[in-house]
Structure 1
Amino acid sequence: MDPLLNDPNIFSVSQLNAQVRQMLESAFSEIWLKGEISNLSKPYSGHWYFSLKDNRSQVRCAMFKGQNRKVLFDVTDGQQVLVRARISVYEPRGDYQLIVQSMQPDGLGAMQLAYEQLRSKLAAEGLFAEQNKRPLPQVIQRVGVITSASGAAFHDITAVLKRLAPSIQIVLYPSSVQGELAPSGLCQALTLANQRQEVDVIIIGRGGGSLEDLWAFNNEALARLVADSQLPIISAVGHEIDFTLTDFAADYRAPTPSAAAEKVAYGVHSLSQRYQQLHTRLSQLSGQYQHNWQQKFQYLKQRLNNQSPLRQLQVRQQQLDEYSQRLQRALSKDLQHRHQICQHLEQRMYQASPERLLGQKSVYLAQLRERLAMASNNHFKNAQNRFSRTIDQLRALSPLAVLARGYSTIQNDSGHWLTHIKQFQPDQTVTITLQDGQARAIVKSTNEQSVPNLPDSPKN
């Protein structure tokens, strides 16, 4: 027996594809990728299969229906998208592919560019200059809050102030913080607060969200009002990583609405250094803690994905979709072939149709009738012409015609034609036929004279 047959280092194709899939999925957890969608297929199973490409390369992608149901826009070929996916291998074919977890239009680049351009413009005007920032008051008795009355930001600010500084009064200037009407609402609330002059400081902000959600705080008119405000303003928009034009224009930026409330409660000068130390330490510990748990989570998640029945079910579903598409193509091809055969038989049946043959024979019969009529007419005309020529010939040969030229015929009493002088007898009664009648005559005498012989007529 060949010893290579028992070598554990020899892989089957299935084992190789499984190992490659595990290595890829272990090496890459999740990645963000942008590109253009092409060859999009949406079979009846509800899963999506497509390619993501740029100007030089492309990669196969699959997005199962549990994930593509969360996509809120219509996905079409040629669309630029941003996807979050994990790398895998479709083992039955050995194809390297991406399993897409989420998708969004690649439109954030234009919005970010508009943000950067407006920020550069306002910064060049000195709107964000540090020398223009107003210090926060040492003692704060009343704080104005510009945000949504039903939002989490107002609840967080109220909870922190009640816990740390319950003596501080809160005045709410309600406004929508998201949508088309949000910028005008925020501007009206800030204008009203400056007109009333009833608070010591203003907190303006909202909870975290996407760039689109926070876009109202990137409004140019609002940024100018914040910079020109008579009251000191603390901006608390989104989370710590979110920066808006309102943050740059405000006198102080808090990373969160809760942090803004803490700033008001403890005061800028007393808490600044301590806050920075705690923030730095907390960020380090949080980052380390998050990193450790993220690694553990990714390890457990990878193990779960490798052993998950859902993963196996997705592979089988992808195989089923492939077989379904192949079956549909085969059925379509067979149906087209049978349709061609049917058309061919239908053409043959039409060629052999009694009705069609009868029509052809009818046309042929009509042609024969027409030819017969023409032949009969021609034959009649030819016969009539021959008859006319014969009549003319008969007329030319008729004795009457000869008589009309001055000749006459002579008959004896027995009715015999007398053509030679020898046939005449003296005192013989004869009948002379002329052109217009007959005359009776008696022969008195005969005188035979020699008549010159005429040449015989040529024979045909």
Structure 2
Amino acid sequence: MSQDLFSARPTVLSVSDLNRSVRELLEGSIPLMWVGGEISNLTRAASGHWYFSLKDSKAQVRCVMFRSRNAYLDWQPKEGDQVEARALVSLYEARGEFQLTIEALRRAGLGALFEAYERLKAKLQQEGLFDATRKRLLPEHPRQIGIVTSPDAAALRDVITTLRRRMPGLPVVLYPTPVQGKGAAELIARAIRTASERNECDVLIVCRGGGSIEDLWQFNEEIVARAIADCPMPVVSGVGHETDFSIADFVADVRAPTPTAAAEMVSQDRSILVAQLNQLGRRLMRQMSHALAERMQKVDYLSRCLVHPGEKIRQQSELLAQVRMRLHHGMQRSLQKAQTGFAPMPQRMQMAGLRSFEIRKLRLERLAQSLQHLNPTNVLERGYSLVQTEEGLVVRNSGDLRIGETLKVTFAVGNSQVKVEKTEPGRDL
């Protein structure tokens, strides 16, 4: 029987083959999962890899997080931290040690917070509170700036220092509120609503310094997001560090990576404005000098064209004297010609002139006699009279008269008024 056992020659695995088979079995049968526990025995190797154990009250497991993965963390874990690890179950073949290969790491409890964050973000986004169309531009030159934060916060000092450096004398109104702790979200929202009701600033900064996700969670609350959305003035959110994103950042008109950056966004740099003003002043002086030089040249040109009134009068006087002299000479020449033309005329021309005069005189006398015959006064001299109505119309027919009508009778000498007592119709001539 023993002889048969030795003759069967069963397959014998090496330790390496065994460990590799176990590793492949573990990695192939157990999916990627989240495991929670407390960090202990944390070691950061020179290679950049992290080695530690995750433990609870009853057990522990070895873990490794390679440099290619831990480089993405924005925080540094330490001994005693309660964490949640996204891990792949595996086996370290060289030692046959069961271990977890960590893909991602977060503080314990962040899973529920992250889910709440995503739910609220999706809800407000669907309502349109994140739309770019509702975002307002920041005023270029605000007259007064409001700040919602804690009076004791380092963020407030950073904002004030930045504003004083960039634009000294710019008025600032603080709306104080706690920025972390129980009930802080309601107080932050109340401070924002106070700023909205008073409406005394041109832009509002809502800010606080960096911290853990729990510290910044007040700015992920719906009450704060809606207070920012309802604010009548532009709102700049400067919460946490550059890598921190809150719901307030998405609702605000502008998101600043830090409180200091928020102060820079809402204020102009006085030194730059002064430099621009000086540049504009120099440009204005150059343009004024150029325009003045052009006007001076134009004045010089016009002055050369301009004649003094006295000189103008003198020139006109000379011209008038010349015209007078030419007129005098012309009249003398004309007179001389006239005298030469009328010097003793022949007798025949004189007789012709006399005959022409006599003929015209006789014609005039005949026309005068004819006109005298047409004179109505001459008719009246022969005993006729002129009868007219009161309106001055000449009466030619007795049938046109009315009994009692007053008539005007004009004689050769004088006139009289008569009344019609009787009319006798006559025949037309």
Q: Give the TM-score, by structure 1 length.
A: 0.41
